[in-house]
Amino acid sequence: AQSVTQLGSHVSVSEGALVLLRCNYSSSVPPYLFWYVQYPNQGLQLLLKYTTGATLVKGINGFEAEFKKSETSFHLTKPSAHMSDAAEYFCAVSDAGGFKTIFGAGTRLFVKA
């Protein structure tokens, strides 16, 4: 069985500060890992993904995440927050087939001016 835990339902940072959103997963098979972003009243949008290969993956809008198998983690980072980054972020895990992608509960990011 697979599961995802996002640490912190709310994270608040100042504009220009580092963004760090934490995600830990469990999976009995090699995982595919994803971060999605949801802006208010919109659907989810794929931010980045890890499938195989390089463990540091870069996504849109300057975000990146690192797959650490030993720590079962896939934390999302951005060096400098922008007001437009305020949204809800979801970590997700699936196997290669992807028929049952499991989503975390989400972390809402607030960016203060």
Partner 1 sequence: NAGVTQTPKFQVLKTGQSMTLQCAQDMNHNSMYWYRQDPGMGLRLIYYSASEGTTDKGEVPNGYNVSRLNKREFSLRLESAAPSQTSVYFCASVAAATNYGYTFGSGTRLTVV
Our finding on whether 9 is near partner 1 (CB under 8 A) is: yes
Our finding on whether 18 is near partner 1 (CB under 8 A) is: no
Separation of alpha carbons 52 and 44, rounded Å? 23
Give me the torsion for CA of 44, 5, 14, 67, rounded to 10°. -80
Of 22 and 49, the one with the shorter C-beta distance to partner 1 is 49
Our finding on whether 28 is near partner 1 (CB under 8 A) is: no
Binding residue for partner 1 (CB under 8 A) from 58, 68, 82, 100? 100
Our finding on whether 22 is near partner 1 (CB under 8 A) is: no
Separation of alpha carbons 27 and 4, rounded Å? 9
Our finding on whether 40 is near partner 1 (CB under 8 A) is: no
Q: Is 84 helix (H, G, I), strand (E, B) or coil?
A: helix
